[in-house]
Amino acid sequence: MTNFKKFKILSTFFLVLLLFLPASVKVSASEQVIVVKGSTTVLPIAQPCAEVFMDQNPDIDISIQGGGSGVGITSLIDGTCDIGNSSRPVKEEEVAKAKEKGVELFANIIAKDAIAVIVHTSNKIDGLTLEQIKAIYTGEISNWSPVGGEDQVIVVVSRDSASGTFEAFNELVLHKEKLRPDALMQASNAAVATTVANTPGAIGYVGLGYVTSQVKAIKVNDIIPSKETVNDNSYPLARPLFMYTNGEPEGIVKDFIDFVLSAEGQKLVEENGFIRVK
pLDDT in 10s for each residue of the chain, 278 residues? 544 333 333 344 333 333 344 333 333 334 799 999 999 999 999 999 999 999 999 999 999 999 999 999 999 999 999 999 999 999 999 999 999 999 999 999 999 999 999 999 999 999 999 999 999 999 999 999 999 999 999 999 999 988 999 999 999 999 989 999 999 999 999 999 999 999 999 999 999 999 999 999 999 999 999 999 999 999 999 999 999 999 999 999 999 999 999 999 999 999 999 999 97
Indicate the pTM of the whole model: 0.81
Exposure of 40 in the CB half-sphere (CA atoms within 13 A): 21
Q: What is the CATH number of domain 34-112+240-271?
A: 3.40.190.10
Q: What confidence score (pLDDT) does residue 203 get?
A: 98
Closest CA to 239 of 87, 130, 39: 87
Q: How far apart, in whole angstroms, are the C-alpha atoms of residue 71 and residue 275?
A: 24
Bridge-partner residues for 220, per DSSP?
128, 223
Please say whether the beta carbons of 34 and 252 come within 8 A.
Answer: yes
Q: What is the CATH number of domain 114-238?
A: 3.40.190.10
Please say whether the beta carbons of 241 and 123 come within 8 A.
Answer: no
User: How many CB atoms are closer than 10 A to CB 41?
Assistant: 33
Q: What ranges do the domains of the chain cover?
A: 34-112+240-271, 114-238
Closest CA to 182 of 216, 157, 145: 157
Q: What confidence score (pLDDT) does residue 24 get?
A: 31
Max Cα distance, the chain (Å): 92
User: Regarding beta strands 105-119 and 238-246, do their DSSP bridges make them parallel or antiparallel, or are they unpaired?
Assistant: antiparallel
Please say whether the beta carbons of 85 and 243 come within 8 A.
Answer: yes
Please indicate whether the domains covering 34-112+240-271 and 114-238 agree at the CATH topology level.
Answer: yes
Query: What are the CA-CA distances from residue 70 to residues 66, 75, 160, 272 (Å)?
Result: 10, 8, 11, 23
Helices 43-56/251-261 angle, 10° precision: 110
**What is the SS3 assignment for 73?**
helix
Please say whether the beta carbons of 179 and 138 come within 8 A.
Answer: yes
User: Regarding beta strands 202-207 and 155-159, do their DSSP bridges make them parallel or antiparallel, or are they unpaired?
Assistant: parallel
Please say whether the beta carbons of 215 and 118 come within 8 A.
Answer: yes
Radius of gyration of the chain (CA): 24
